[in-house]
Structure 1
Amino acid sequence: MKTVTLTIPDTLEMDNNEIAMLVAAQLYEQGKLTLGQAAEVAGLTKRTFAELLGKYNVSIFNYPASDLLSDVANA
């Protein structure tokens, strides 16, 4: 796994865990990480990560609505 160092202004009142969660949630939302990978980046279990996604306005269902409609039509 890669390690990234970020320089963030002191005025941004977020700790390292919050920043890791924010990055992991965005990468998960973009489909670049699986739920398990994103949870690992955030330093959390899959369950805890999934439960916190809503706080970051990220759906646990990581595929387009058009796919959902197609799945419902095929069911």
Structure 2
Amino acid sequence: MKSLSFQVPDQIDLNEYDFKMAMAVKLYETGKISIGQAADIVNLSKSSLIDVMKNYGSSILFGYSADDLKNDLENA
């Protein structure tokens, strides 16, 4: 895994965990990584990450369209 280093101004209240979560969620939302890869970034299980994602304004259903939901319900 690649390691990156960032400097953040002292007045910004951001810890390493929050930064990793924000990056993992955004990379997942944009389709650049899978939910498993996002979980690895923050050292959580997939199910734990899914539970925590709501605190960062996201969910596992990001990118899941209404048509996809309708089709899934019809096929259930």
Aligned residues: 75
The aligned amino acid for 1:51 is D
In 1, the alpha carbon distance for the partners of 2:69 and 2:60 equals 17
Q: Percent identity?
A: 29
Q: In the TM superposition, what whole-angstrom CA distance separates every residue of 1:28-64 from its partner, at most 9, and x where no partner exists?
A: 1111111110010112111111101111111212434
Query: Runs of 5+ in structure 2 lacking a partner?
Result: none
Matched ranges for 1:1-75 at <5 A: 1-65=1-65, 68=68, 71-72=71-72, 75=75
Indicate conservation of the 8 Å contact 1:31/1:62, yes or no.
no
TM-score, normalised relative to structure 2: 0.81
Q: Which ranges of 4 or more aligned residues in structure 1 deviate by more than 3 Å?
A: none
* Aligned-residue RMSD, C-alpha: 1.9
SS of residue matched to 2:19:
helix
Compute the displacement of 1:14 (Å): 1.4
The aligned amino acid for 2:19 is I
Compute the displacement of 1:74 (Å): 6.5
